[in-house]
Structure 1
Amino acid sequence: MAKRAAKSTARKSRGAALSSRRRLAGLALGWALRGLAAVAAFFVLLVVLFSFVTPPRGIYMIAEARRLGGIEREWVPMNRISPNMQRAAVAAEDANFCLHWGFDMIEIRRALDQGSSRGASTISQQVVKNVFLWHGRNWSRKAMEAVLTPVVETFWSKRRILEVYLNVAEFDEGVFGIEAAARHYFGTDAASLSPQQAGRLAAILPDPKGRSASNPSDFVRRRGAAIADGAATIRADGRSACFEG
């Protein structure tokens, strides 16, 4: 009898311990889900807020300002950015900008076919990275970018996305945004950029620290001319309609 009682007591003890562990696991899962929901709500709130409020400096911009002791940047609204520059940026970085919902599946398939070294990031994805996240190729950032990009596309107009992109893009070491870039390279403002100047500025976007718009290499000259032609093409075929006022 004593042995049976001892076994029964042991079973009850093990059952209580298992039940306690399950309760703790359930509590931990519940708190984790609440935490994820809070983070998601925070980012959605930021996306909605930045649809009409100028975003502050992003993580990369802050890091560069600390490293260099300051940066050049002046925010300008879309109506003070030359349409030449608007179309050149789209022609260079995301020709199907007006046709996709944040991800260009055609370019993604081409990138997969040609190897992972070929980029396929849209302007929308680059805005999410520059405004909300950090630079780098780790999977956590890529996952957050994939989640946030459709949210930005939902709450922001295409015109707003391009406006933010042109104001946060890096054009040289310590030079951010199209107004600072226009003054830095050409001594003019963003509203006055010619098709040639806009093409060259768009040509340096993939490598802003290694290319120059005011002292262009042969490659930048050729690439800038091709972008200017592409800008004229997307205007003619209607692919600039979603952002032109």
Structure 2
Amino acid sequence: GSNRGASTLTQQVAKNVFLWHGRSYTRKAMEALITLLIEGVWSKRRILEVYLNVAEFDEGVFGVKAAAARYFAVEAANLTPVQAARLAAVLPNPKERSAENPSSALRKRSAAILDGAKTIHRDGRSACFEP
């Protein structure tokens, strides 16, 4: 129902790390090519690591380290599962969602993310993200 296009984490990494913001067929074509290169070279863990280091969590708050410090006054490695899920729920729309003052919808989305994380950990699918 949205008029926005969906993109994968790898596409967002390609755009945020290697390209300019904006909409054009040229940028989208370059994004597609870079995405293929990234997926051919980087592991899923590396793609997620880069994404989390460049994602914008609020105006001027880039990366999970900055977001953890800003919202929860902790290092990223010390986020609780609930805090991490709340930060994940803020994405991809941090300008309208707040980890600091979560709406009931954001709390529900955080709970769903936490439940999903538990499920993929339990059935072994999370192995590609673990060291």
Is the structural similarity TM-score above 0.5? yes
Cα distance in 1 between the residues matched to 2:126 and 2:7? 18
Secondary structure, aligned partner of 2:14: helix
Q: Which amino acid aligns with 2:53?
A: N
Aligned residue for 1:171?
57
Aligned residue for 2:46?
160
Larger relative contact order (CA 8 Å, sep ≥ 6): 1
Question: Which consecutive unaligned segments of at least 5 residues does structure 1 have?
Answer: 1-114
Following superposition, the deviation at residue 238 of structure 1 comes to 2.6
Aligned residue for 1:229?
115
Following superposition, the deviation at residue 135 of structure 1 comes to 2.0
Q: CA RMSD in A?
A: 1.5
Match of 1:206 among 68, 92, 114: 92
Secondary structure, aligned partner of 1:228: helix
Following superposition, the deviation at residue 185 of structure 1 comes to 0.3
Secondary structure, aligned partner of 1:171: strand
**Aligned sequence identity (%):** 70
Match of 1:185 among 68, 71, 79: 71
TM-score, with structure 1 as normaliser: 0.51
Secondary structure, aligned partner of 2:57: strand
1:131 aligns with 2:17: yes
Cα distance in 1 between the residues matched to 2:35 and 2:91? 20
Q: Does the C-alpha gap of structure 1 residues 230 and 118 become closer, same or farther in structure 2, counting only changes over 3 Å?
A: farther
Residues matched between the structures, number: 131
Aligned residue for 1:145?
31
TM-score, with structure 2 as normaliser: 0.92
Cα distance in 1 between the residues matched to 2:4 and 2:115? 23
Following superposition, the deviation at residue 208 of structure 1 comes to 0.9
